[in-house]
Chains A and B, each alone.
Chain A
Amino acid sequence: MILDLSVGVAGAFCARMLQQIGNEAVRVAPEDSDTDTAMAWANSGKRLIDRDPATVDGLEWIRQHLTEMDCLVEDRGPGGLEALGLTEAALREATPGLVLVRISEFGQTGPLAGNAGSELVNLAAGGMLFLTGTWDRPPVQLAPYQAQLTAGLLAALAAAAALLAGDSREGVTVDLSKQEAVLALINPALSEYAYSGTIPARDGTVAAMARIEQAKDTFVYAGPGAAANADYQRYSTFLGIPEFAEARFATAEGRMDNWQEHQRLLQPKLRERTAQEWTEAAAEHRLTFGLAQTSLDLLDCPVLNERGFFEKMDMPRTKIATGTARAPRGPYLVNGERPGVTNAEPGETR
C-alpha cells in the first residue's frame, strides 16, 4: 500500500505511477484540495481519507495505519514531514521496511536544500530552460508541469525498484531533487561540454534541417530523419524540390551554410498540402514527419482512441469543474490492455 501525503503535482503523480504498475494508494488530504486539473488527474483513483495531515485528526489516522504501508510519498521539502510530527526514525520504528519517497525542489541535502522552487525555476535550475527557445528571445519553458511530472515519474521508478527488492532490504529513503530530474533530460548537453568544451544553447540563427513548419492548414514537423544522416536525396524526390539533391544540401554543415535558401525552397512547398497529407505521404516514403497536434487534437486522434488511450473521468470534488471529462488512462499497454488507476470505462469520442 502506498501512502500519499503529497501537496504538489510531483508527489501526487509519483503515487499515481506506483498505482499504475499495480500498487494500491491511499491519500490523506482534505476533500477539496484538488485545485487544478493536474492535481485532479494525478490523484484520480486513489482512496481518499478526508483529513488534513497537518491536524491532530489527520496525524492520528496516519499513525494508526502506518504498519499497513509499504511506501510513503511526500513532497513537502526538507523538514516538511517532520513539521507534521512524522520523523524518519518514528516511521521506521512503525514500519521497518518502509520505502520513504521524499521529493523536493533541490534535494534534502546540499547548500541549496530548502530553496524555493516552481515549474519554471525547476527547468532553469536543471538546465532545460537554457536550451529551449530561439536565439532572439529569452529562454522559454516547456508545456505545463513537465518538470513536476518528470520528477514524479523518476521518483516512482526509484520507489518501485526499492519495493521490488522487498524482503532483502531494510527501509530506504529516496531523495529526489526536481533539479536532478530535469538534469536527466539534458545529459547530452552536459557530456558535450565535458568532452568538447562547447556549451549548447537554444535554437540558433540557422538549423541543420527543417523544424516545425506551416503546412496548408496547420503545422507539420517536416524533418527527414536525424540531422547527422538525413537523406536529402530522398527528401528532394519526395518533396519535389530538385535543388535539395544538390551537394550544398547534402550535409548538416552545408544546409546551415545555405539556410536561407533552404527555407525559401521548403516553406512555400509545405504550404501546398495539409499537415495530415504530408505526414501520411512521408510515412510511405519512410520519412520521419510528424503531425503537429494540440492537446485538443489528441482527443480526436483515431489511433489513440482505437488503442484505448483515454478514459472517462468524473470530477466531482474539484474546484475547477464538475461533470465528466476525458483524460489519458495509462502510458502503455500490457498484454493488449491499458492498465489504469480507476475502474472507469474507456472514453468515447468527444
Chain B
Amino acid sequence: MNAAGTAPGGPFLPLAGVIVLAWEQAVALPMATRLLADLGAVIIRLEAHTRGVRRARHLVNDLAHNKTGLAVDLRQEAGQALVRALAARVDVVCENFTPRVKRQFGLTYERLREDRPDLIMLSLNGYGQTGPWSERPTYGPGIESASGQALSMGYDGAAPIRPGTIVYGDNISGFYAALAIVGALQRRKRTGAGSYIDLAMYEANAFHLGPSILRSSLTGQAEPRRGNSDPDALVQGVFASAGTEAWVAVTVQPQQAAALATVLGMKEQSPAAAVLHDALAAWAAARTSDEAAQRLQEAGIAASQVMHAKDLLLSPHLQARGAFTAIEHEQPVNGYRAHPHQGLPFAYAGHARPPLREAPAVGQDSRSVLQQILRLDSSEIDALIASGVVGETGAVVTTSPPNTTPVELPVSIAKRLERRLIAGYDSDPGAALGLDQR
C-alpha cells in the first residue's frame, strides 16, 4: 500500500491556508470537512469532551483523518464565548445541529456575524433551517426515503429497499456541502461578502434525483423501480458468474449486438435482445466474473466484476492510481501499524494524493488551537482545562474492533455469515492486504 500515491509531484493542496471550525457530529458534515481537509484546509473538529462517545476506529479514521481535535463544553457560557471568539478568527464555520441547539448555545449565524461581518457559515440538517420540518431529527435512511431516492430504485414489484450503504444520504449531502463552502470562499474572494448556507439533506438528495423529478414533471408518472434494466441499452444486467456471491455487471449498447454475439460464440449475426440476454447469462455462469468482464471489455462492451471491499482494496488498477493511502497509527491496531483508506476521490495529474493523518482523539489539539488562533498563554489554557470548559487528550478515546485472531470463527461472525449480513470473513485481513506488521 503506498503512502502517498504514485505520482512524482508532491500533493496539490488548493485549500492550504483556509481554516474551518467544524462543530460536527455523525456523518454528513464530517464527510464534507474531510474532503476540505484532504484539499489542504485546516479543519478544527469541535466536539464535547463531556459525552462518553465511543466510536469504531475505522469509521472515525474515514471521517476525521487530517483534522485537528478541539473539545469544549458548550453547556458552559465560557465555552460558548470561546467558540464565538474562535468563529471570528477562522475562514468558515460549519455545523450540523438543529436550529434549537444553535439557539441554546448562542451559536447562530446572526450572533456570530456580529463579530465577523464577512463570516461564511454552513448549517446542515435534515430538512433545512426554516419551514415546518426544520426541527425534525433525522438520519440518512430517513432522508433516502423522503427524498425519493429509495422509491426510485430496487426490484420491480418487490418491497422497497435503500442504497446499500447506511450512509448514502449523508455522503451525498456532505459532497454538496463541501462544494457549497468552496463556492462561498470563491464568492468572498470575488466580492468580499460572507454568506450563510442552509443545506438540507432532504433537498441535497432530492436535487441528486433531478433528472427523475424533471421526467415526473413532464410525464405525471413517478420514477419506476426498474431493477437493473436500462431502457436505452440492448442488454443490461447483473449476471451470476462462477463462485459464490460472484457477479458481473454488463451493459450492451444497441449497436453492439454483433460484438456480443462474437464473444458468446453465437453463429447468428443479429440475435434478438432476449436471446442475447439468456446466452450471456449462461456464458457468464461458466467463468469467473473477472474473466467475463475482461473478455467483454476486449470487445468494447461495458462490463465489470461486481467488486466488494476486499476486491477493491486489492485492485491492481486502484493501487496503480494511488487510490488508497495508509493511515499510520501511533499504536498498532489489530496487529498492524497502518491501514488503507481512500483519501481524495480524484487525482490532480502529476501530483501525489495527499497524505492522511490519523483522526484526532476528542480534544487532542485543544492546546495548540487555543494558542495559535486565540493567542492564549499556557496559564489561561490551564485554567480553562481545570474548569472543564476545555478538554484535552485522554478524555475520550476512540475504540477499535476487538483484536481477535481466532482459531475458530467467533460466534457472531458465523451468525453474520449464516444470516447473509456479510459475504465473507478473513481473520487476518492485514495479511490478505499485505500490510506492514512492524
Question: Interface of A with B (CB < 8 Å)?
Answer: 9, 17, 20-23, 36-38, 40-42, 102, 105-112, 115-121, 123-135, 137-146, 149-150, 153-158, 160-166, 169, 172-177, 179-181, 183-206, 211-212, 214, 219-221, 223, 225-227, 253, 256, 283, 286-299, 302-304, 306-307, 309, 313, 315, 320-321, 323, 325-328, 330-336, 350
CB < 8 Å: which of B214, B307, B421 contacts A313?
Answer: B214
Looking at the assembled complex, report how far the CB atom of A131 sits from the nearest CB atom of chain B, in whole angstroms: 3
- Quick one: which of B193-207 are within 8 Å of A by CB? 195-200, 202-204, 206-207
**Given that A292-B160, A331-B207 are contacting pairs, would A164 and B341 also be in contact in the complex, using a CB cutoff of 8 Å?**
no
Report whether A299 and B230 are in contact in the complex, using a CB–CB cutoff of 8 Å: no
* Chain B interface helix/strand/loop/mixed: mixed
B421 and A206 contacting across the interface, CB-CB below 8 Å: yes
Taken together as a complex, chains A and B put the C-alpha atoms of A193 and B424 apart, in Å, by 9
The answer on a CB contact under 8 Å between B218 and A320 is: yes
Given contacts A125-B304, A133-B154, A143-B212, 19 further A-B contacts (CB under 8 A): A111-B316, A118-B230, A120-B302, A121-B250, A138-B240, A142-B153, A142-B168, A150-B175, A190-B340, A196-B401, A201-B245, A211-B162, A221-B142, A288-B137, A293-B151, A296-B223, A298-B147, A298-B209, A333-B129
CB-nearest residue of chain B to A108:
B349
Q: A138-B240, A188-B62, A199-B425 given as contacts; is B222 within 8 A of A331 (CB)?
A: no
- The number of residues on chain B lying at the interface, defined by a beta carbon within 8 Å of a beta carbon of chain A, is 162
Cβ–Cβ contact A107 & B152, under 8 A: no
A130 to B425, CA, bound (A): 15
Q: Does B216 contact A (CB under 8 A)?
A: yes
Pick the residue among A143, A289, A294 that contacts B142 (CB under 8 A). A289
Set of chain B residues within 8 Å of A9, measured between Cβ atoms? 211
A117 CA / B293 CA spacing, docked (Å):
11
B287 close to chain A: CB less than 8 A: no
A interface secondary structure, majority: mixed
Q: Are B35 and A157 in contact (CB under 8 A)?
A: yes
B182 touches A21 (CB 8 A): yes
Q: Is the CB of A120 within 8 A of B228?
A: yes
Query: Which of the candidate stretches B69-77, B184-192, B266-274 sits at the interface with the other chain?
Result: B184-192
How far is B14's CA from A172's CA once the two chains are assembled, in angstroms? 10
Whether B323 sits at the interface, judged by CB under 8 Å, is yes
A290 touching B138 by the CB < 8 A rule? yes
Cβ–Cβ contact A129 & B346, under 8 A: no
In Å, the complex CA distance between A192 and B403 comes to 13
A194 to B308, CA, bound (A): 12
| Pair B423/A199 contact, Cβ less than 8 Å | yes
Chain B, Cβ-Cβ closest to A117? B302
Contact with A along B131-145 (1 / 0, CB 8 A): 111011111011111
Q: A180-B342, A293-B146, A306-B131 are in contact. Are A200 and B422 (CB under 8 A)?
A: yes
Q: Which residues of A contact B344 (CB under 8 A)?
A: 158
Quick check: is B172 within 8 A (CB to CB) of the other chain? yes
| Shortest distance between the CB of A39 and any CB in chain B (Å) | 8
- Assuming the A-B contacts A124-B249, A191-B339, A223-B139, are A153 and B175 also in contact, with contact meaning beta carbons closer than 8 angstroms in the complex? yes
Query: Is B218 touching A325 in the complex (CB atoms < 8 A)?
Result: yes
Q: State how many angstroms separate the Cβ of A48 from the closest Cβ of chain B.
A: 18
B92 nearest CB across to chain A (Å): 12
Q: Do residues A184 and B345 form an inter-chain contact, with CB atoms below 8 A?
A: yes
Tell me which residues across on chain A come within 8 A of B425, comparing CB atoms: 197-199
